Amino acid sequence: MQRIISLQNHNGEKVSIASPPIDAVMLHERADSFTKRSVKKQSKMDALYKCIEMIDLTTLEGADTVGKVKQLCSKARFPITTELADELAGLPNYKPIPQVAAVCVYPSMVQTAKDALRGTTIKVASVATAFPAGQIPLKTRLQDVKDAVSAGADEIDMVINRGAFLAGDYQTVFDEIEQVKAACDKAHLKVILETGELSTYDKVRLASEIAMEAGADFIKTSTGKVSPAATIPVTLVMLQAILDFYDRTGKIIGMKPAGGIRNAKQAIHYLVMVNEVMGPRWLTPDLFRFGASSLLNDILKQIYKQVTGRYAYDKSFSLD
């Protein structure tokens, strides 16, 4: 039976949120089917290039420095070295490697990233709201968002209040997302559900619905700090929620699986799923992203193999 909860928005208007139960057996069967598709030759090359355009390169460590962020931004702008690009230029099936979608950093590093990416179309995203736990007062979390936006962040990645959600206090979760959305001003808001802590697919579906109704521009699986992070079944639940929300409201919401997607083969499985569930409209960086920094080098190695017929050494690419 479909679950319906009743909340209120900031105007005091009633918001009814419906969350259908998830058939886990059928979900896994369908999710597994996407990994069986055969993508070869030119279609594979096209998919690899598209994956690069959808990657958010990320550095979110206590040891982040200005130099490290600048290096990551350089990687975002020029995924391969000039020497390697010259080696591949002119070979069949090769075309210039595109830039990634965004670089994601802490609020304190937004200005550094913004300066390093000036003159490009690469977005600067910033995790805020006391990422990854979110366990500080709301007033401080909102200031965290405002600081990042003031420094030039194009996108804000927030974490939901999992404690409130798991306690059944859905109104607090909704209210906080609404307030963060307001603090974002013109920046896009990605709402991180941290699906690894939600424990069931039914809860993932409900959290997705709450986030979208509260104003999310994107919904995102994970912080990358909790295991399990992104999985195909969890992403499928969230994609179906997005599609149902679009059919119901006409609003287009983006999707970002993050954490655990480490190789090109996995990434192509996700593209297949998005194409078959959502349609090609969602196969753009505006509506689909990978939060997977380590993914980029594997994709580059696969492109190198497709073009040259041989594998590149790991050290052919930067290790960030």
Task: Please name every residue paired with 124 in a beta bridge, in sequence order, or none if there are none.
Answer: 103
Distance of CA 33 to the CA centre of its chain: 22
Which run of H or E residues covers position 298?
helix 295-308
Task: Please name every residue paired with 104 in a beta bridge, in sequence order, or none if there are none.
Answer: 58, 125
Distance of CA 197 to the CA centre of its chain: 17
pLDDT, tens digit only, all 320 positions of the chain: 788 999 999 999 999 999 999 999 999 999 999 999 888 889 999 999 999 999 999 999 999 999 999 999 999 999 998 888 988 998 888 899 999 999 999 999 999 999 999 999 999 999 999 999 999 999 999 999 999 999 999 999 999 999 999 999 999 999 999 999 999 999 999 999 999 999 899 999 999 999 999 999 999 999 988 888 899 999 999 999 999 999 999 999 999 999 989 999 999 999 999 999 999 999 999 999 999 888 999 999 999 999 998 887 766 777 65
Domain boundaries, the chain: 18-316
Give the whole-angstrom CA distance, residue 136 versus residue 145: 13
| C-beta separation of 215 from 181 below 8 A | yes
Catalytic residues: 157, 220, 256
Residue whose structure tokens are 């995924």: 79
Q: pTM score, two decimals?
A: 0.95
Give the whole-angstrom CA distance, residue 113 versus residue 211: 28
Contacts of 182 (CB under 8 A, 6+ apart): 10
Does the domain at 18-316 match CATH 3.20.20.70? Answer given as yes
